[in-house]
C-alpha cells in the first residue's frame, strides 16, 4: 500500500495560519466555509471538525498529583489519538451501527452485506473513485431526519453496551500519561463527532475531532460537511485545532494504528504507531517512530485486516448501509 501524502510537508509543524471563528456554533452546522483558504473536501472537513470541537467543549478536568495538588497545564503541548484499533478494539462506528441495527434503524443483513463489500474494496485496493464519492455522499444517511439529541442519547446507551469494555488498557494508559503531564488529549477519528465526544468524555479526555454531519434546526440532513475525517482530513483538523488553541505542533504527540494516518502522524513532533498495520510498521521503522503493540500475536492477526480497511472506509461502509438498501430494493 502506498504511503498517503503528507499535507504538512510544505508547512512546518506549529506554523499553521490562524483561522476564523467557529462556523459550528448554534443549532445549524452547514458546509459554508472560507473558500479563499479552504478549498478541498479534506480541508473543509478538518476546519469543520476543529470548529465543532471548540464550539461544544467538554468539561475541563485538571489532573492532580499524588498529594492532591493540581498539575499545572501545559498549554502548548497536546496528544492526538486515533480511535479505531488504536484506542478501541475494532471500529467504533461499526459498534454504533450494530447498536442502531438492534434498535431497528436498519436490517443487520444490510449492514453486513455492504460492510463486506467495502472491506473487499479497501483490502484489495479495487475501490473506484466513484465508489469513494458514493461512500462519502451516503455516509451518515441513515440518520437523515433524526434529531441530533436522539442520536446522542442512543450513543450513550450503545457506548455502555458495546464499547466500554473494548478500550485498550495500554492505550488508555498512554492518554492518562499525557493528562498527568498537564497536556490536553484529543481523539481524532472518522467516527461522527457526537459519538467521538461521548467516548472522549467517558474516558476523561479533553475532547474529540470527528466527522461533522450537517444539521438544520437540530435535525440531521444526511449530508457531511466536507467529507469523512480520514487520511489528510485528520491532519488538516489537527493543524486547524492547533492554530485555534495556540499549540506548538513540534511539542505534540500523535498515535495511530493505520498507514492512512501518516499525514496526521507527520505534522506533530512525536509520532507513535500503536497496534500498527504492516504498512505503518514499515513507515515507523524507516522514520524512527516509536512502536507500541498491545495485542498478542493471535489478536494482531485478527485485527490486522480491519486496520488495513481504515477508519474512513468502515465509517463509510456502516453509514451507507441504509442508502445501499434503498438503491437495491
Helix (H, G, I), strand (E, B) or coil at 132: helix
Mean pLDDT of 302-327: 43
Q: Which of 6, 84, 110, 257 is catalytic?
A: 84
pLDDT band at 17 (very low <50, low <70, confident <90, very high): very low
- State mean pLDDT over 145-149: 89
Looking at residue 125, its pLDDT comes to 34
Mean pLDDT of 262-277: 97
Q: Does domain 78-327 have CATH number 3.40.50.150?
A: no
pLDDT at 316 over 60: no
Cα–Cα distance, 258 to 260 (Å, whole number) = 5
pLDDT of residue 145: 85
**84 catalytic residue (yes or no):** yes
Closest CA to 268 of 201, 167, 188: 188
Q: Which of 9-18, 174-183, 273-282 has the lowest mean pLDDT?
A: 9-18
User: What is residue 14's predicted lDDT score, i.e. its pLDDT?
Assistant: 36
Query: Is 257 one of the catalytic residues?
Result: no
| pTM greater than 0.85 | no
Inform me whether the pLDDT recorded for 8 exceeds 50.
Answer: no
Q: Which cell is 144 given?
A: 437523515
Instruction: List the catalytic residue out of 74, 82, 134, 282.
Output: 82
Span 49-102, pLDDT tens digits? 999 999 978 777 666 666 777 778 899 999 999 999 999 998 888 788 788 878
Q: What is the mean pLDDT of residues 312-323?
A: 44
- Percentage of the chain lying above the pLDDT 70 cut: 65
| CB-based contact 325:107 (threshold 8 Å) | yes
Distances (CA, A) of 94 to 16, 84, 101, 202, 318: 33, 10, 10, 18, 6
Place of cell 488508555: 172
Per the model's pLDDT, the better-predicted residue between 67 and 137 turns out to be 67
Mean pLDDT value of segment 287-301:
80
Q: pLDDT at residue 114 above 70?
A: no
> Any bridge partners for residue 167, and if so which?
88
Given the DSSP bridges, would you call strands 219-224 and 213-216 parallel, antiparallel or unpaired? Answer: antiparallel
**In whole angstroms, how far apart are CA 167 and each of 85, 90, 91, 177, 265?**
9, 9, 11, 16, 21
Look at residue 265 in the predicted model and tell me its pLDDT.
Answer: 98
Sequence ranges of the domains in the chain: 78-327
Torsion of CA 60, 26, 152, 215, to 10 degrees: -140
For residue 227, what is the DSSP state? S
pLDDT of amino acid 227: 87
- Closest among 109, 113, 104 to 142, alpha carbons compared: 104
Q: What is the mean pLDDT of the chain?
A: 76
**Average pLDDT score over residue span 281-291:** 97
Three cell numbers, residue 220: 440531521
Whether 73 contacts 247, CB under 8 Å: no
- 208-247 as b/e: b if 16+ CB within 10 A: bbbbbbbbeeebbbbbbbbbbbbbbbbbbbbbbbbbbbeb
From CA 311, how far away is CA 63, in angstroms rounded? 30
Determine what percent of the chain falls in helix, strand and coil, rounding each to the nearest 5.
50, 15, 35
Confidence of residue 159 (pLDDT cuts 50, 70, 90): very high
Which residues have CB under 8 Å from 106's CB, separation 6+? 100, 142, 321, 322, 325
pLDDT (tens digit per residue) in 193-242: 999 999 999 999 999 999 999 899 999 988 889 888 999 999 999 999 99
Q: For residue 292, name the pLDDT band (cuts at 50, 70, 90).
A: very high
Segment 6-16 mean pLDDT: 38
Amino acid at each position: 500500500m502506498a504511503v498517503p501524502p503528507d499535507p504538512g510537508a510544505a508547512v512546518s509543524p506549529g506554523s499553521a495560519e490562524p483561522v476564523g471563528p467557529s462556523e459550528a456554533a448554534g443549532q445549524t452546522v452547514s458546509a459554508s466555509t472560507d473558500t479563499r483558504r479552504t478549498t478541498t473536501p479534506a480541508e473543509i472537513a478538518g476546519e469543520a471538525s476543529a470548529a465543532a470541537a471548540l464550539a461544544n467543549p467538554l468539561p475541563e478536568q485538571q489532573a492532580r498529583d499524588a498529594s492532591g495538588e493540581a498539575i499545572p497545564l501545559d498549554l502548548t503541548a497536546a496528544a492526538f489519538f486515533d480511535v479505531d484499533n488504536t484506542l478501541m478494539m475494532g471500529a467504533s462506528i461499526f459498534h454504533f451501527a450494530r447498536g442502531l441495527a438492534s434498535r431497528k434503524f436498519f436490517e443487520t443483513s444490510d449492514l453486513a452485506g455492504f460492510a463486506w463489500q467495502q472491506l473487499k474494496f479497501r483490502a484489495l485496493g479495487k475501490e473506484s473513485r466513484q465508489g469513494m464519492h458514493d461512500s462519502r455522499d451516503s455516509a451518515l444517511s441513515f440518520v437523515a431526519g433524526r434529531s441530533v439529541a436522539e442520536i446522542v442519547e442512543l450513543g450513550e446507551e450503545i457506548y455502555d453496551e458495546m464499547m466500554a469494555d473494548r478500550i485498550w488498557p495500554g492505550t488508555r494508559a498512554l492518554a492518562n500519561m499525557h493528562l498527568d503531564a498537564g497536556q490536553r488529549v484529543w481523539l481524532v477519528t472518522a467516527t461522527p463527532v457526537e459519538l467521538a465526544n461521548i467516548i472522549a468524555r467517558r474516558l476523561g479526555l479533553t475532547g474529540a475531532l470527528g466527522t461533522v454531519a450537517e444539521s438544520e434546526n437540530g435535525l440531521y440532513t444526511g449530508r457531511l460537511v466536507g467529507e469523512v475525517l480520514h487520511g489528510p482530513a485528520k491532519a488538516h483538523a489537527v493543524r486547524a485545532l492547533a492554530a485555534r488553541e495556540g499549540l506548538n505542533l513540534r511539542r505534540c504527540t500523535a498515535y495511530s494504528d493505520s498507514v492512512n494516518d501518516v499525514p496526521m502522524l507527520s505534522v506533530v513532533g512525536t509520532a507513535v504507531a500503536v497496534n500498527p498495520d504492516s504498512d505503518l510498521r514499515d513507515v515507523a521503522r524507516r522514520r524512527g517512530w516509536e512502536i507500541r503493540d498491545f495485542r498478542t500475536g493471535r489478536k494482531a492477526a485478527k485485527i490486522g485486516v480491519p486496520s488495513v480497511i481504515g477508519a474512513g472506509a468502515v465509517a463509510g461502509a456502516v453509514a451507507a448501509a441504509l442508502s445501499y438498501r434503498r438503491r437495491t430494493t
